[in-house]
Amino acid sequence: MKAKIIKIKKPLIFSSLLFLFFLGGIFTICMDQIDSVSFEAKQVSSRVKIKKENTIVEQKVVEDNIALNLVEYENFPREYRGYKVVGKITIPKLEIEKYIIEETTEESLKASVTKTCGPKVNEIGNFCISGHNYIQTFGRIKELEVGDKIIMTDTYSREITYEVYDTYKVSPLDTSCLSQETNGEREVTLITCTLGAIKRNIVKAIEVYD
């Protein structure tokens, strides 16, 4: 007895392949959606964690201030030339001592050095300060070298010493020096223009531990 040969019609094969391809497409889309949701969830989780850590740091600062009976602006000026003061910078090598103004504008930069971005003075993060290329402000920071000291005073009159660890020039479009990724350290970044405002002089300093 001869075995019966079953012939599969070509349209059926084509339909089956098309159906499998369709299922594969749906699976890929679903996996992409799952990955996207997972990525977004991780981002949200990361933001919540950072916010929580910042809240803990701020709470600790407040508790320390209460424990030491410190009062903000008790022995520190609130304003300088009509602008709110957030701290003071002292650079012994250059004999510079300047109040740091809260906002950075064309007008405020004429009054003193200004906060560009970052946390409060002497808190964890990268506190960035801008100043005009004048001798009485940041015109001489290009003379600073690795190992030189910078003293930052906050509005509670507390001082922390920072040590220069890098100096370099960047394009005006390069904002990498403003990064807040400091691995839990306190850092200070000084920024000013070069002659002709072609580039920016950058000085990076990190907290010195006793």
Give residue-wise pLDDT tens across range 120-176: 999 999 999 999 999 889 999 999 999 999 999 999 999 999 999 999 999 999 999
What tokens were used for 136?
Answer: 């009485």
DSSP annotation of 194 reads P
**Over pLDDT 70: what percentage of the chain?**
68
Among 45-54, 88-97, 158-167, 180-189, name the one with the lowest average pLDDT. Answer: 45-54
Residues 6+ apart with CB under 8 A from 76: 85, 88, 153, 155, 156, 157
- The Cβ-side half-sphere exposure at 68, using a 13 Å CA radius, reads 12
> Model's pTM, two decimal places?
0.70
Buried b (16+ CB within 10 A) or exposed e, 169-189: eeeeeeeebeeeebeeebbbb
User: What value, to the nearest 5°, has the Cα angle with vertex 167 and ends 174 and 114?
Assistant: 65
Residue 29, pLDDT score? 43
As a whole number, the mean pLDDT across the chain is 81
DSSP annotation of 51 reads H
180 vs 50, more confident: 180
What is the distance between the alpha carbons of residues 37 and 31, in angstroms, rounded to a whole number?
10
Q: Is a pLDDT exceeding 80 seen at residue 177?
A: yes
Nearest to 122 by CA among 76, 170, 160: 160
111 vs 32, more confident: 111
Provide Rg for the chain, Cα atoms. 29
Backbone angles phi, psi at 74, to 5 degrees: -65, -45
What is the distance between the alpha carbons of residues 152 and 82, in angstroms, rounded to a whole number?
21
DSSP annotation of 152 reads E
